[in-house]
Amino acid sequence: MFTSSILAASAALISTVAAYANPGACSGDCWTHDPAVIRRSDGTYFRFSTGNKIGVYSAPALSGPWTLKGSAVPAGSSINLKGKDDLWAPDVQLIDGTYYLYYSVSSFGSQDSAIGYATSKTLDSGSWTDHGSTGVSSSSGKAYNAIDANVFVTSDGKKYMNFGSFWSDIYQTPLNSAGTKSSGNPTQISFTSSGTHAREGAFMYSRGGYYYLFWSEGQCCGYDSSKPAAGKEYKIMVCRSTSPTGGFVDKTGASCTSGGGTVVLESHGNVYGPGGQGVFADPKYGAVLYYHYVDTTVGYADGNKKFGWNTISWSTGWPVV
C-alpha cells in the first residue's frame, strides 16, 4: 500500500510537470521583457521589447538567430510624463497597410500613465514616427492604470484597446476607425479582488467564434531580491467570450470580472514566472503563444529574462501548450 501510494503520487507529479511543453528554441539575442512579435510579408520576424526605448529585434525564423537592431522610439515619447524615456509593454499591429506600435509611458507603481503610439511602413528600426498619446491615460483616483495596451481589430474593422495593470485590473476602450484615439469610455473586462489583484498584459485572440482574453497574473519582477511565495509568481491566464467586448468566462464558467480565469502556462521545470504574453498565427507552426520567462538554470534577475514560445493546441476549445 505504501509503495502504491508513492507510485500514484509520483505519477501525479509527472503528469503535472509534463502538462506544459518546454519553450521552443531561441538563438542569438534572446533577452526580452513583455515581447511583441510580428512576421513581415517577406518572412522576417520582428520582436519588440520593453527597454531601450522599445528595442527592435529581427530574425529569419521564430527560433532566431535574433539580432538587436535599435530602438523604435529613440528620442523618447512626446508624452510629457515621467517615464517618457523608459517605454514599456509594446504591442504591434498591422492596420490597413501600416504598422502601429502602442507603448506605455509610466513609472513603476505609479498611476500617472498614458498609452502612446508610433507608426511605420516597414517595422525596421529608424522607420518609426512617434505620434504621442492615444488619449488613453490615467492619474490618481481613476479606477485603472493606463499601461499594457493591446489593440484588437474585429473582422468587420472595429477596433478596441485592452489595457490595465493593478488598481481595478483590465479595461477596454473602443478606438476610432484609424486605431489612433479612444472613442468611448473604458469598461472593466477582467478583475479579481484577491491579493493584490495584479492582472495585466491583456492580449485578445479570436478563433472558432470565440474571443480569447489572455493576461498575466502575479508578481512579474524582482525575483532575485524578493521571490514570491510558491504559485504567486507570474503566470498566463485566459477567459473567453462570444463577444469581443465582454461576458468573458473561464473553463468552469466563472466570470472573468469576478475572479475567474483558467491557467494557460505557469512555472514548470526550469521555466519560472512566464508572462508578458501574446499570440499570433504563424504560417509554419499555427497559433503560437509567446512570452518572457526566467530560466532558473541562468538566474532570476530581470536582466536574465528570456524569450519563450510554444505552439497552441485547441482540441478542447481552450488553449493548451
- The residues annotated with a catalytic role in the active site are 34, 200
Closest CA to 81 of 49, 110, 122, 42: 110
Closest CA to 225 of 111, 109, 110, 304: 304
Closest CA to 101 of 80, 125, 69, 82: 125
Which residues, at least 6 apart from 91, have a Cβ–Cβ distance to it below 8 Å? 36, 101, 102, 103, 149, 150, 151, 203, 278
Q: What is the CA radius of gyration of the chain?
A: 19
Q: What residues pair up with 290 in beta bridges, in sequence order? A: 278, 309
First vs last Cα of the chain: how many Å apart?
Answer: 35
Burial (0-12, 13-18, 19+ Cβ within 10 Å), 174: middle
Per-residue CA distances from 242 to 170, 206, 288 (Å): 18, 9, 21
Answer whether 184's CB lies under 8 Å from 173's CB: yes
C-alpha cell, 126: 529608424
